[in-house]
Amino acid sequence: MAKSIKEQLIRQLADGKFVSGQLIGESLGISRAAVSKQIASLNDMGLDIFSVTGKGYRLAQPISLIEKTKVLAALSTKALASKVEVHCLIDSTNNYLLRRLPDHIKQGQVCVAEHQSSGRGRRGKQWVSPFGSHVYMSMYWYLEQGMSAAMGLSVVAAIAISDAIKSLYQIDVQLKWPNDIYIQGKKLAGILIDLEGQALEPSHCVIGIGVNVTMPEHASKGINQPWTDLQTHTPIRINRNVLIAEIINKLTERLYEHQDHGIVKMLDQWFSLDLYLNQPVKLISAGKEVQGICRGINNQGALLLEVDRQIKPVYGGEVSLRKC
């Protein structure tokens, strides 16, 4: 009930005009005191709402909410098979799809949200998710060949995000193994892959994607690494409906390509965009640090790390790659 009230309240305030507390209370069937409490909780989520006596409540800036019909209208023929759900408030788009396994989900199903209360990054980190500012989405993909087919999926997703951004905004991003997208050395987007199943049996995969679109100033204070957002790098006003649809389009294309050919045909593109290619790096895993030279990735998506003139593959896991 509280979630439904918050969502209705957000929609009433989205256009940036004043709405009286009395009218809000009447439309939602709650008291003026309850309205005030709900407004405070929305401010805690990152929405900048202020009040003026005699006028009511208003957002400091209007927000353009994601609209499912507009996302669907921009999907390619192949991607139209995807079921797309748009949520205002959710714990995590990955968690939402994982809860629907195995019987209440279909191939290519997508969950998109305006805000995540428990957004996740890799290695247990929180993914900062200010309301209505970025893209938070996840896609489900069935792996008929089992978890062995999951090798390289973070590469597939990174290439797909690169494809979408290049197609819409003519921006070349940088790719950082295993699952980050950068612009000019600053983090723009991240990928989180969740797998369920057995190694030699058909498995389930959820691909989570977070892209910084327009970072609110207050939200950036919680980020402890260099970051950027997409709007900073293009004069084109970013329409999140179009961006989400294009990511779905490109991700669908790349997943079918991966299903048929693996990532072999994507390697050249990865090498052209690899943030650390042929540079000194350090690999941190389980508190241990190994220094070497990044030599790109192999056809399974493993990092090729040269140490003492020997190149060895590193197959993901709880690792972090950084420049020396």
Any binding-site annotation on 92? yes
CB contact at 8 A, 143 and 204: yes
**Residue 122 annotated in active site:** yes
Q: Among residues 270, 277, 268, 324, which one has the least CA distance to residue 305?
A: 277
**Residue 322 annotated in active site:** yes
Given the residues 100, 166, 186, 187, the one annotated as active site: 187
**Residue 187 annotated in active site:** yes
- Cβ burial of 35 (10 Å; 0-12, 13-18, 19+) is buried
Any binding-site annotation on 93? yes
Any binding-site annotation on 279? no
Question: Where do the H-state alpha helices sit in the chain?
Answer: 2-13, 21-28, 32-44, 68-73, 93-98, 153-169, 217-220, 240-261, 267-273
Given the residues 32, 68, 78, 322, the one annotated as active site: 322
Any binding-site annotation on 176? no
DSSP structure class, residue 173: -
CB contact at 8 A, 191 and 126: no
Long-range Cβ pairs for the range 164-173 (8 Å, 24+): 164/243, 164/246, 164/247, 164/249, 164/250, 164/251, 165/230, 167/246, 167/250, 168/236, 168/242, 168/243, 168/246, 169/230, 169/233, 169/234, 169/236, 169/238, 171/230, 171/233, 171/234, 172/273, 173/273
Give phi and psi for 141, each to the nearest 5: -140, 130
Any binding-site annotation on 83? no
Given the residues 6, 122, 240, 250, the one annotated as active site: 122
Question: β-strand 310-314 against 203-211: which pairing, if any?
Answer: unpaired
Any binding-site annotation on 116? yes
Binding region: 92-94, 116, 120-122, 187
Annotated binding site for biotin: 92-94, 116, 120-122, 187
Catalogue the active-site residues: 122, 187, 322
